[in-house]
Amino acid sequence: MATLSDLRAAIAAVIGGLLYPSGIPAGTNPPSPVAGAPVRVFQGRPEREGLDADMTAGIVDVSVYVLPGAVNTSRYPVVDVPIAMSPPSLVWTVSGTSATLGGTVATPQNVGLLVDNQVFLYAVQPADTLASIAAALASLINAVQPASAAGAAVSVPGSRSIIGRAGGVATTLREVGREKVTVQVQIWAPSDALRSAVGAIIEPSLRDLRRLALADRSIAMIWFGTVSDTDDLEKSTIYQRTIWLDAEYASTVTSSAAQIVSFTETVRAGPDICGVLPEAALSFAR
């Protein structure tokens, strides 16, 4: 799900990627290869003690902060939109009045048999095997008509038709509201030269930023606002540049929905009217 924190984190990640295109090695604070000085990017406002220490050490700080106040811009209907699907890894082979399960057991997914137009579904469990899945389905069918399982095969002797199905589980995203906020990006530098160097990397790219993917795969809209320098703290050797962005993001909820997305049949024909057997089975997918 997306929240205000996700928006802030995504903007901070964009800035970090601009300053350190190859990533920052863990536990270190090396100079930015594009700015020529160590840069620390973080969310929220800096503490004065830490800020002073960074300025003394020649480290540039970039803070990402969401200003108080927001506008509720909710306007879209609440619908579940599939954003990811785990495909099924199991498949059925049907021959006459029996169906044999094959493939790899994995979760989450559902398998089922359509026997004489009646559906029998089973949710695969982490400890399942092909044989245990077949046994579970045979038990469900046996409550309606005689059925049994032998290994991975399910037999329904009195059946007229059997169709095997397998389906994955989809992840859905539901937008439950929207907010428009103002984000403040501040550069804190120990010199005007370093402020200019870091600002030259950040400002043009933020001006060009229109759509920003958040952690839940929803999209935030970004509008560049204004930019200004502040030298009021010059005597403390802190040179500031502030960039204001307007951003609209969706507050979302994710959930899972089990869906039958495909099924495969393998039909083995008997002898034709002349008593000749076919050379191969006929396979088709629906």
- Architecture of 4-72+173-250 per CATH? 2-Layer Sandwich (3.30)
pLDDT tens-digit readout, 230-286: 886 555 689 999 999 999 999 988 888 776 544 444 445 555 545 554 444 444 344
Beta strands in the chain (DSSP E): 39-43, 60-66, 71-72, 80-86, 90-95, 98-103, 110-115, 118-123, 148-150, 153-155, 162-167, 169-189, 211-213, 219-230, 239-258, 264-267, 282-285
Single-letter code of the amino acid located at 152: A
pTM, rounded to two decimals: 0.69
Please report, for the chain, the start and end positions of each structural domain, with discontinuous segments joined by +: 4-72+173-250, 80-171+257-268
pLDDT tens-digit readout, 104-131: 999 989 999 999 989 999 999 999 999 9
pLDDT tens-digit readout, 35-83: 999 999 999 999 999 999 999 999 999 999 999 999 999 998 888 888 8
Among 113, 97, 137, CA closest to 264: 113
pLDDT tens-digit readout, 99-108: 999 999 999 8
